[in-house]
Structure 1
Amino acid sequence: MTFIDSLLFGALISATDPVTILAIFSDLHVDVNLYALVFGESVLNDAVAIVLTSAIESYGGTSGGFETSAFFLAIVNFLWIFSMSFIIGSVMGCLTAILTKFTRLKDFPLLEAALFVLMSYSTFLMAEAADLTGKQIYRLFFFGFVSALLS
């Protein structure tokens, strides 16, 4: 097993899936805030694992050993994807919140829901344009968080 294989295994196994805990929480009818926190943490763990795995695969050396330049390029790739996802998701979330807050869309619930879906989809399209495909979890998380926070 090479060093790159070990890093890939660590990145994949680091995303623990708390489906069992969420199922127990549902059965016990725990506070919805606690459920939302555990679910959000699970989503972010999965997102980190996806981005980290793709960064390690992209910059894994051909020799299978540790390469300093590949290590730093993987870190830069991870930070680039995270920051661009944050920017795209936050900007689109702010635009959606402004559109829904300062217009009379609340009087037309179907139009409001359609606009929300279209704005969510536009984050995907912007990510396609920025060549950040496959890492949609961050953008949608930040989009939902910002639009819910500002609405």
Structure 2
Amino acid sequence: MASGLPSRPFVLVATSLFLLCSVGPSCDALDKNQPDAIVSSHQFNDESHKVVTNQTHRYKLVSFKFDHVEVPYVICLWILLACIAKIGFHLYDKLPHVFPESCLLITLGILVGVTLYFTETANSGQYTLNANTFFLFLLPPIIYDAGYHMPNRAFFNNIGTILLLAVVNTLWNTMGIGICLYGMSQIGWIHSEISLLHCFVFSSLISAVDPVAVLAIFEEIQVNEILYIIVFGESLLNDGVTVVLYHMMDGFTEIGQANLQIVDFVTGFAQFFIVVFGGTLIGVVYGLVGAFITKYTDHVRVLEPLFVFVLGYLAYLTAESMELSGILA
């Protein structure tokens, strides 16, 4: 080092030490010159980082980034496996007669989930099913498929029975469950006391039924069309009743049981008709728009399925944004 100039890092370190020693023991002077030392150390770190980076980084011929496509890749594999399993269930006729197809698919999903969890193939936290994923992405195509293939004539011929089961039966379930739960709380069968409004909030949440598995079995075994349309229509229309009841009871809870007035009950009763008929009106409007658009798609028929799916999905989202019945829409 004596025969030539010292290296640059050595000069930076020596300069930093000289600045620190020349200020003496004064704390004020040390504070004033402290940024110079920090800048010098940062420059030293930057230079050393550049040297290490230039020495280790090389252009890769082939790279593998599974984490970049992990979520959609695994989801597509799940869908592919479910479709192949559904084909296999239909090819082997004896198995669906012993177990319903929905139960077999649920079992398959459990096995796939357990395998991914214990093998740590994918991060399970990325595939947690929440309410937004279900109601915004999974439920609309299921309901749209059912509504698209619904026998309209049989539905309107049995509209009285369907409304009886969808409206009166849902109200009966809500009142029965809520009153029974409140009674058990009062007589001590439930350790904590629950108010009547909270009991009705819970009962309105679970009173509606969704017989998806029953409808799937009915469709496979080709049951009577009237029985199928009654069960399907009831499951379709009780959504409006359940939405109104839940929002009504939740709103009553926020107001408080002691502050409720007659006008609140009248408003809640009127909300039922707004939710039901509002959701239906939105569906009719989007249906007319779709019919008008597809009237001029004779030369671009490749776009017709896109209009059909997008307009149906927009009808659902529009109704949900207005807190109306997206299923009816």
TM bin (shorter chain):
0.5 to 0.7
| Displacement of 1:107 | 6.3
The answer as to whether partners of 1:8 and 1:56 remain within 8 angstroms in 2 is yes
Select which of 276, 284, 290 maps to 1:96: 290
Higher radius of gyration, 1 or 2 = 2
The answer as to whether partners of 1:4 and 1:56 remain within 8 angstroms in 2 is yes
Match of residue 77 from structure 1: 271
The answer as to whether partners of 2:237 and 2:328 remain within 8 angstroms in 1 is yes
Q: Distance in 2 between matches of 1:36 and 1:71?
A: 33
Select which of 206, 223, 244 maps to 1:51: 244
TM-aligned CA distance change 1:82 to 1:103, over 3 Å: same
TM-aligned CA distance change 1:124 to 1:106, over 3 Å: farther
Structure 2: tracts of 5 or more residues without a match: 1-193
| Displacement of 1:113 | 0.7
Across the aligned residues of Structure 1 and Structure 2, the Cα RMSD in angstroms comes to 3.1
Give per-residue Cα distances to partners, 1:47-92, cap 9 Å, x unaligned.
4212321122123341368642321121222222223212211111
The answer as to whether partners of 1:105 and 1:111 remain within 8 angstroms in 2 is no
Q: Classify the secondary structure of the residue corresponding to 2:322.
A: coil
Q: Distance in 2 between matches of 1:65 and 1:106?
A: 62
| Worse-superposed segment, 27-36 or 87-96 | 27-36
* Pair 1:116 & 2:116 matched: no
Q: Distance in 1 between matches of 2:260 and 2:213?
A: 36
Name the % identity: 30
TM-aligned CA distance change 1:103 to 1:29, over 3 Å: same
Moved over 4 A (4+): 31-34
Tell me which amino acid in the other structure corresponds to 1:56: M
Structure 1: tracts of 5 or more residues without a match: 140-151
Tell me which amino acid in the other structure corresponds to 1:58: G
Q: Distance in 2 between matches of 1:105 and 1:127?
A: 30
Give per-residue Cα distances to partners, 1:69-126, cap 9 Å, x unaligned.
32112122222222321221111112212333x3344861x31110112212332454
Structure 1 residues 133-144: aligned runs within 5 Å: 133=323, 135-139=325-329
Q: Which has the higher contact order (CA 8 A, sep 6+)?
A: 1
The answer as to whether partners of 1:59 and 1:74 remain within 8 angstroms in 2 is no
TM-aligned CA distance change 1:123 to 1:28, over 3 Å: closer
TM-score with structure 2 length normalisation? 0.35
Q: Distance in 2 between matches of 1:111 and 1:83?
A: 30
Q: Distance in 2 between matches of 1:127 and 1:75?
A: 19
Match of residue 147 from structure 1: none
